[in-house]
Amino acid sequence: MPKNKTEVFTVSGSEMGLSDGEAANSRGRGDKRRIIYEQYVQPCLAEFFGTTLFIFVGCACVIGNTGSGAIQPAVAHGLALAILIMLFGQISGGHFNPAVSLCVYLCGGMSLPLVVPYILAQMVGGMAGAGLAKAMFPPLEYQSSLGGAFNPEGFSNDLGKIALAELIMTTFLTTTVVMAAVNSKTSTQLAPFCIGLTVTANILAGGTLSGACMNPARAFGPAVVANHWGHHWIYWVGPVCGALSTVIYVRLFFGDRKTRLILK
């Protein structure tokens, strides 16, 4: 009988008829594959899975919202995001948002090779989450709410104000992400709660104006599944510009010594 569980699943090189050098090379190849998986594959899978769940909850709470207020979507989005960041934050950082990934990269919080794979995983996850919501609800209920897709024409006729609202709210969100999770001087273990509460506050503040998207993947997924593309550009331009504005003042003024570009 083996002395512990590790011995059950461990086969040494000598037991397989390998020399010590061959066994070492085999272990080296195994370590390399593990490192590649943990550094590149696993984070992208976490971003896909987390984005799928987040956007499923986001679409479902809009489709099933029986009232006209923003409380239900605000609480559902905020709680779902906080939980998912706690679950997957140690694997991928818990972005689930192309604007957040762009901001985190430009603030020095992730490596360049992960940026495009993250965004692709988030976009595919957005479509998967929206598809799950469509499969769950009756067709009439789904269509009446546009499947949780954003409809700026239903909020305001001034598209400039809607884009500005998205810029400001995304600036608030990405500032919370960078200062609470990336910037070493201000980082906190309460980052998931801070980020989730920021999303909740933004939806309560700006949901009646723009829908408070703050996330291109949250807009893209339902737009694809429901085939609703009205003024879709707003939900890319606003969040991306908000993320870039956060990068500018964090890099210039509020970042730690490693992040700040001036007066280091």
How many CB atoms are located within 10 Å of the residue 194 CB? 16
User: Phi-psi category of 19—alpha, beta or left, where left has phi over 0 and alpha has psi -120 to 50?
Assistant: beta
Give ∠ CA 120-226-230 in degrees, rounded to 5.
Answer: 90
The pLDDT tens digits along the chain (264 residues) read 444 433 333 333 343 454 556 555 656 677 889 999 999 999 999 999 999 999 999 999 999 886 667 899 999 999 999 999 999 999 999 999 999 999 999 999 999 999 999 999 999 999 999 999 999 999 999 999 999 999 887 655 688 999 999 999 999 999 999 999 999 999 999 999 999 999 999 999 999 889 999 999 999 999 999 999 989 999 999 999 999 999 999 999 999 988 988 887
Phi, psi of 166 (to 5 degrees): -65, -40
**SS3 state at 145:** coil
Domains of the chain listed by start with CATH number:
19-254 (1.20.1080.10)
- Give pTM, 2 decimals: 0.87
Give ∠ CA 110-84-185 in degrees, rounded to 5.
Answer: 45
